Structure 1
Amino acid sequence: MAQADHVAVLDEGPDGEQHDRARRMLAAPERLRSFFAPRSIALVGASDGSGWARFIMESLQTAGFAGPLRLVHPVRAEVFGRPTVPSLRALDENVDLAFVLAPTHAVEGVLEDAATAGIHNLVVLASGYGDGGGEEGRERERRLVERAVELDLTLLGPNCLGFVNASAAVAPFGLHIAPPLRRGHVGVVLQSGALTSNVLAFARAHGIGISLLTSMGNEAVITAADVLEHLITDEDTRVIGLFLETIRDPQRFAALALRALQVGKPIVALKVGRSPAGQLAALAHTGAVAGDDAVVAAALRQFGVIRVDSLEELLITAGLLGSGQVPAGRRMGVVTASGGACDIIADRSADEGVEIVEFSEPTTARLREVLPSFAAARNPLDVTGIILADRTSAEANLGDAALTAVTADPHLDFVLNLVSLPAAMPPDPSIPERRIADIAATIERSPIPVVNFSATCSDLSEFGGSLLDRHDLHVVGGIEFGLTAVGHAIRWNEVRQDRASRPAAAPAPAPRVASDDLPGGAWSEARARDLLAAAGVPVVPAELVADADAAVAAAELLGYPVVLKVCSAAIAHKSDVGGVALGLGDADAVRAAFARVIAAGRTVTDDVEGVLVSPMRTGGTELFVGVTVDASFGPVLAVGLGGVFIEVLRDVSLRVLPVDPTEVVRMLGELRGAPVLAGARGTVPVDLQAVAEVATRVAECARSLGPALQVLEINPLRVDGSDVEALDVLVVTGPS
């Protein structure tokens, strides 16, 4: 089902804001708790010819729904062999939720009936609202929201297939659910309808239990952020999975993500849709390196959200995080029955930054006691196939004895344990039953997490799934996805610990610059320099001159050699037009260069303020610091290697503002060129704290421009040890 491109917009101004607050109240967590756990349901517009109705009734049965199900049809007295009533008004008892299958033109009337009947929760299937993209559909959606607010109706949709609440054993859901519905701790929010069945099928095949899964439709009343807030407070949910086509309220999303991080509920997000970099890329570098998707990726990472690239990665990662066996450190022990698996695990562990450390001496000694003589007692541990193939070894469960020894190793933070599950029930099921029971017992008494995994991402057999269910075990699907999930879990935990250790205070923005005095478009460099200097950003000394004699006087005052640059708001890339002269060592060179530079500028524009004269700086490291405005997240800071490297390498780190110096230091450490900053090949190491202080001032200076800000960047920012200085500055502002 196609989804609306935007949330229905109510009237702007105070009345619109009041209406939006009312809408938010309809989707508050206390309302959604009852919405997603109805004890009685009415199906409005049910008919024998409706596949939607048939699917909903089947899904309710699969979920084990035991409450009353009332069918509503305006004409037919019987549907699916069950009696109907002509409207919700005709019900002889109240119901908790109405699933509306009525055509679009009849939906508003059903809302009126629901309100009269005392029904406050509705799912609306009909499309033809904002999903159509036309003004008529958008207006229809506005009216739908207005009526929902007026009638006090919490509404999911329109253009929505419903939801599945495995925890509450209820699934008013318009697609097929293959039984059995597996209950667990993963909440899933999908800005897609048809993908819900695929998600449920994959989760079932890999032993991933669901608490709540919902499609969102057009998000006219209940939005994805509303459901996210609900799941943060939901006791049955340990981890939240999101399929996002768009982040509709970035500021609220960021606040909720940080709240989830604080309470220890990981968010795993598959964010799709990539758009071109901003239109300001022609003027500035920041827009090019901080494209929309790059900003989304940085923002999700900044707010503690795990971003994944596929539904499989989303679900397997969420399954691990919901299992209760979540690694908190990077030191891993490995127990397998395959040397080849050990090799693959070693390679993938290196990719994820997971350390395979040596076992302690007591662990090695214990392993030598229980393993075959030809097995090597080292990490990663191959207990060899004899553990599975030899009946005596299998019955003695020497593999579990090895696992027990490894879990006691003080050098380890967690253990990765290969589990082989039968593809079908074997002739003697007692052996795998005992092996799984012993693994469960070992995990129960283990002082560190044990992550069970399979060698490949294969579907669980019915017998294998039943073994895991009986012993409340989870097996991560495959080495590839498994170690990816392990890496995600470790990094999430590190982000959470880092957040918890930070001071709560955010930097205060610089005093707001008067917007009525801001130019539209690019500023001259002289004016941009004044702005930064007033904000405490160190800039290289410079004099703005109007003639050659003044240029020589400035050069002698500043000291040779000097640099001359044409100064004009109309010329962003001065060197491209011949508007820059470098390394001028005497008065004659300055006079000649002044003539060239001023002439080059005037071939482009008559709006030339003059020429900037600055001392020539050499040595040090050139960095880039820039702020641009993302359409969703607002001002974004980019730092990286500067000069020509910003164009060639695009090696930058991004953060949504505000940031503090500690965060900027982290950004610098994320760069591929970080070794350069540490003083590679005998160069002077960069004082990261000094750079971070300056970059923070730049960021707050940019924020002081308020909604007029478009771009503010320094390229290069020259750093020589702790000496930090802006050499070239660009500021672009526009209408608020």
Structure 2
Amino acid sequence: MEESDNVAVLDVAREGEERDRARRLLAAPHRLRSFFAPRSVALVGASDGSGWARFIMESLATSGFDGPLRLVHPTRPEAFGRATVPSLRALDEPVDLAFVLAPTHAVEAVLTDAAAAGIHNVVVLASGYGDGGGEQGRELERRLVDRAVELDITLLGPNCLGFVNAQAGVAPFGLHITPPLRRGPVGIVLQSGALTSNVLAFARAHGIGIRLLTSMGNEAVITAADVIEHLVEDADTRVIGLFLESVRDPQRFAALAQRAREVGKPIVALKVGRSPAGQAAALAHTGAVAGDDAVVAAAFRQFGVIRVSSLEELLITAGLFGSGQAPTGRRMGVVTASGGACDIIADRSADEGIEIVEFAEATTARLREVLPPFASARNPLDVTGVILADRTTAEANLGDAALNAVAADPGVDFVFNMLALPAAQPPDPSVPERRIADVAAAMGRSPVPVVNFSATCSDVSEYGGSLLDRHDLHLVAGIEFGMTAIGHAIRWHESRRVLGGRAAPPPPARGALLDGQAVDGPLPDGPWSEARARDLAAANGVPVVPAELVTDADAAVAAAERFGGPVALKVCSADIAHKSDIGGVALDVSGPEAVRAAFARVLDAGRDATPDVEGVLVSPMRTGGTELFVGVTVDPSFGPVLAVGLGGVFIEVLHDVSLRVLPVDAPIHPAEVVAMLGELRGAAVLAGARGTRPVDVDAVAEAIVRLAECARSLGPALRTVEINPLWVDGAQVAALDVLVVTGGRE
């Protein structure tokens, strides 16, 4: 690349950074507070023939919006039986928000009119920008951002259907909303417009109240991260739900997740778009085991973000957190009217790691006083169908007496309580109404959270919903989703305690690299020779097995004699990443003649593959112990990712690996590495399986932290740094094979 090309690339980068800084100012939390709560709205491009305009007007009415609604059309004097004005400039006073339905070619002119009219908040429906996939569309979107910055306009979209702010009673939204719109503490950000109405319908059917729901469109000015930041700071939001097609700014996303965790707001995310990227033509194992989706899962877990696999799971989990009844402990008491439900709950609790505890003697005694003689006073508790079928028993509040007893048990952290709602108002509503009132009273007295659930994920009837609303109760939809949501809640609280208690360690001393440049010269573009890779690792404090680089058989014999035992010989060349594949490795070699023969064999194998051979590495054999795999590769979204696993079949076939995104400004914490080792399916091997000594996990963690810092020291040149295997015998740790790849990325 010529120097002039470098300058041009730098200029483009600076221009992009300046554009992003200006964009961020337009989408700051104080700007979004007013953006998402407009008291007056203008609809630009409103006409009787526009389905979008009709939907937006209907949605505003459904939300209860009663502020001024002005219709704008350049040629039609009337729309929907109301007078229009030809442009935003013709308004007698500015509105808080303009929803622009104009075609793509006219959008910039509408923005100019908006600024002239004193309007600084705009939603743009038009597509054909970056969503088109071509350079022309991307350039059009860059111009749109520049124009918004120039005019001081906060813009949602383009290619956006708008938003619903149930709390503020305003919904400039381009799809149908089934009334009534439920208000509540759940904020939802969707990188999909068409799903928005489905999300609203499901939330309504299951009593999940929405604070703010927004589609994002192309995120030209307002991004998903901006809305997350707004919701983190919003006092009326308890939980944040996300539907993500991509994570555009992983570093900011991680910082926002940490902030949300600190203030006690869970983030529940459905991330779609799985791919096997990184598995093809990998120079190392790391790229194959750290595929895109695996990295996303690891990153979310690391950031304390709850990852779910469906919209239903997203909404039900968010609804549980929003109810204020999310459990924090694992000991569960169960109250049902079904033995079958008890069996399902017992199985699902095992899946989620939830303990169904034995009731205390006092609890059992209280239950025996109220239960039918044929019922068993044990956990999970089946108060039997008599509570539903027998009016006398129902009026005696058997279920509520049982709930009171279980909630008071000293060994219970929360109660999972089955609540049956009528599909329609019965002729005598006194029994179900008193039943719901008594459950609410029991929850008010309970020292632990009570999670009410239905047996299946069926819609709550209008009458059933009115009973819940009257007493401010929440019903989790079904045993399956309910247990999943509870598991998410418990793990989130546990991770919050763990992640919040880790202080960053001091950074290890840097070794062979400084500011991304090797001390002894420029970094190679491609794989390093193993000799140089070993030097890099050792200089950064990674324990490496001793080795000598030799160029003739006599030197190989002398090196073997100095090591005093069986040795390994490996051809050394930057052109040969997988030495064993070409016969360039000889193991467990003893005696001068055997060393000479092995030297000649591996050297010839290397020279048959490439003329660029540095020589042969001779190192002592390490036997017994346990072999680990450690590698750092670069994910296109999240940056450097650390992969840790057991060697051999565990990594080759089972892909038993744990991943972490490396911190940007501090070393990974050794405790995090210890946790990674504990996550492996084969973790029991580290405890000393099959006659091996138990692994000193602290010593291993220290070596892995050093390797991670070694990789980070390569800066933007990093592609892969890998040890395979990392040999461990008790407290002895040594890298037996080191691979380093640097340079440009495709």
Q: What amino acid is the match of 1:514?
A: Q
2:89 partner SS: helix
SS of equivalent to 2:12: coil
Q: State the SS of the aligned residue for 1:282.
A: coil
Q: Give, in angstroms, the shift of residue 83 of structure 1.
A: 1.4
State the distance in 2 between where 1:70 and 1:437 align: 46
- In the alignment, is the contact (CA less than 8 A) between 2:516 and 2:716 conserved in 1? no
513, 517, 523: which one aligns with 1:514: 517
Moved more, 134-143 or 62-71: 134-143
1:692 is aligned to 2:701: yes
Query: Which stretches of structure 1, 4 residues or longer, exceed 6 Å deviation after superposition?
Result: none
- 2:420 equivalent in structure 1: 420
Task: Give 3-state SS (helix, strand or coil) of 1:12's partner.
Answer: helix
Paired position in structure 2 for 1:3: none
**Cα-Cα RMSD:** 1.4
Residue 718 (1) aligns with residue 727 (2) = yes
Is the deviation greater in 503-512 or in 515-524? 503-512
| Correspondence for 1:618 | 623
| Matched residue, 1:119 | 119
Q: Is the 8 A contact 1:509 1:701 kept in 2?
A: no
Verify: 1:353 aligned to 2:353, yes or no.
yes
Residue of structure 2 aligned with 1:706, choices 715, 718, 722: 715
CA contact (8 A) 1:506 1:660 kept: no
Aligned to 1:544: 549
Aligned with residue 560 of structure 2, among 555, 558, 578: 555
**Distance in 2 separating the partners of 1:221 and 1:381:** 54
Q: Partner residue of 2:676?
A: 667
**Secondary structure at the residue paired with 2:598?**
helix
Written as runs of structure 1 = structure 2, the 5 A alignment for 1:138-157 is 138-157=138-157
8 A contact 1:10–1:20 mirrored in 2: no
Cα distance in 1 between the residues matched to 2:605 and 2:78 = 86
Alpha-carbon deviations, 1:81-133, whole Å to 9, x = none?
Answer: 11111111111122100011111111111101110110100001111111111
1:414-471 CA-to-partner distances (Å, cap 9, x unmatched) read 1100111111111211111111111111111111000111100000111011111111
**Structure 1 10/56 Cα, relative in aligned 2: closer, same or farther at 3 Å?**
farther
**Alignment check: 8 A CA contact 1:278 1:288 kept:** yes
C-alpha distance in 2 between matches for 1:366 and 1:509? 64
Deviations 1:191-246 (A, max 9, x none): 01100010000111111110000000010100000001000011111111100011
Letter in 2 for 1:219: E
Which residue does the alignment assign to 1:34?
34
Letter of the 2:719 partner, please give it: Q
Q: CA deviation at 1:509?
A: 7.3
Determine if the alignment matches structure 1 residue 375 to structure 2 residue 375: yes
Q: 1:70 to 1:671 in 2, by over 3 A?
A: same
**Rounded Cα–Cα distance in structure 2 between residues aligned with 1:280 and 1:259:** 37
Task: Compute the displacement of 1:506 (Å).
Answer: 6.4
* d(CA) in 1 for partners of 2:491, 2:680: 17
- 1:295 maps to 295
1:326 aligns with 2:329: no
CA distance in 2, matches of 1:505, 1:426: 64
Q: Show the counterpart of 1:59.
A: 59
Mean CA deviation greater in 662-671 or 9-18: 9-18
C-alpha deviation, 1:281, in angstroms: 4.8
Counterpart in the other structure of 1:175: 175
TM-superposed deviation, 1:682: 3.8
Matched, 1:236 2:236: yes
Alignment of 1:551-700 (within 5 A): 551-658=556-663, 659-700=668-709
For the residues of structure 1 that align with 2:314 and 2:273, how far apart are their CA atoms? 16
1:266 offset after TM fit, Å? 0.4
- Assess if the C-alpha contact under 8 Å between 1:333 and 1:414 holds in 2: yes
| 3-state DSSP of counterpart to 2:335 | strand
Matches within 5 A, 1:112-261: 112-261=112-261
Matched, 1:401 2:410: no
Separation (CA, whole Å) in 2 of partners of 1:718 and 1:416: 47
* 8 Å Cα contact 2:279-2:291 kept in structure 1: no
Q: Could you tell me whether the CA contact under 8 Å between 1:386 and 1:393 is conserved in 2?
A: yes
| Structure 2 residue aligned with 1:466 | 466
**Corresponding residue of 2:5:** none
Rounded Cα–Cα distance in structure 1 between residues aligned with 2:11 and 2:139:
11
Moved more, 483-492 or 678-687: 678-687
**Segment of structure 1 superposing worse, 135-144 or 345-354:** 135-144
Gap change, CA 1:133 and 1:513, over 3 Å in 2:
closer
> Are 2:505 and 2:669, in contact at CA under 8 Å, matched by a contact in 1?
no
Paired-residue identity, %: 81
Can you give the 5+ residue segments of structure 2 that lack an aligned partner in the other structure? Answer: 1-8
The amino acid across from 1:716 in the alignment is P
Contact 2:516 2:717 in 1 (8 A): no
Matched, 1:495 2:495: yes
Contact 1:94 1:118 in 2 (8 A): yes
Preserved contact between residue 508 and residue 706 of structure 2 (Cα < 8 Å): no
Cα deviation for residue 660 of structure 1 reads 1.3
1:682/1:555 Cα in 2 relative to 1: closer, same or farther (>3 Å)?
A: closer
My pick for the range that moved more, 84-93 or 496-505, is: 496-505
Partner Cα separation in structure 1 for residue 542 and residue 280 of structure 2: 24
The one-letter code sitting in structure 1 at the alignment partner of 2:219 is E
Partner of residue 5, structure 1: none
Q: 1:287 to 1:677 in 2, by over 3 A?
A: same
Matched, 1:732 2:741: yes
Contact 1:10 / 1:142 at 8 angstroms: preserved in 2? no
The code of the aligned residue for 1:326 comes to: A
State which of 529, 540, 543 in structure 2 corresponds to 1:535: 540
Any stretches of 5+ residues in structure 1 without a counterpart? Answer: 1-8
Rounded to whole Å, the distance in 1 between the matches of 2:180 and 2:708 is 53
* Amino acid of the structure 1 residue aligned with 2:206: H
Distance 1:722 1:604 in 2: 38
Residues 382-413 of structure 1 show CA distances to partners (whole Å, capped at 9, x for unaligned) of: 01011121101111111000000000111011
Q: Is the counterpart of residue 270 in structure 1 residue 270 in structure 2?
A: yes
Counterpart CA distance in 1 for 2:506 and 2:102 is: 50
Q: Deviations over 1:533-589 (max 9, x none)?
A: 101111111111111110100000011111111111111111111111111121111
Give the conservation status (yes or no) of the 8 Å contact 1:10–1:19. Answer: no
Q: Which moved more, 1:13-22 or 1:195-204?
A: 13-22
Tell me how far 1:42 sits from its aligned partner: 0.6
User: How many residue pairs end up in the alignment?
Assistant: 728
Q: Counterparts in 2 of 1:52-131, with a 5 A limit?
A: 52-131=52-131
How far, CA to CA, are the matches of 2:515 and 2:100 in structure 1?
50
CA distance in 1, matches of 2:405, 2:281: 58
- The corresponding residue for 2:6 is none
Q: Distance in 2 between matches of 1:478 and 1:540?
A: 56
Distance in structure 2 (CA, Å) of the matches to 1:520 and 1:278: 19
Taking the aligned partners of 1:556 and 1:238, their CA distance within structure 2 comes to 68
Q: Relative to structure 1, is the Cα distance of residues 311 and 595 closer, same or farther in structure 2, using a 3 angstrom cutoff?
A: same
Distance 1:54 1:509 in 2: 64
CA shift, 1:643, in A, is 3.2
Q: Amino acid of the residue matched to residue 194 of structure 1?
A: A
Give, as a single letter, the amino acid of the residue that structure 2 aligns with 1:245: E
Could you say if the C-alpha distance between residues 506 and 192 of structure 1 is closer, same or farther in structure 2, counting changes exceeding 3 Å? farther
The aligned counterpart of 2:479 is 479
For 1:385 and 1:639, the matched residues in 2 are separated by 52
Query: Hey, what does 1:46 align to over in structure 2?
Result: 46
Contact 1:512/1:706 (<8 A) preserved: yes
Q: Is residue 334–residue 379 contact of structure 1 (8 Å, CA) maintained in 2?
A: yes
Partner SS for 2:155: strand
Name whichever of 174-183 and 75-84 sits farther off: 75-84
- Check the 8 A contact 1:229/1:256 in 2, yes or no: yes
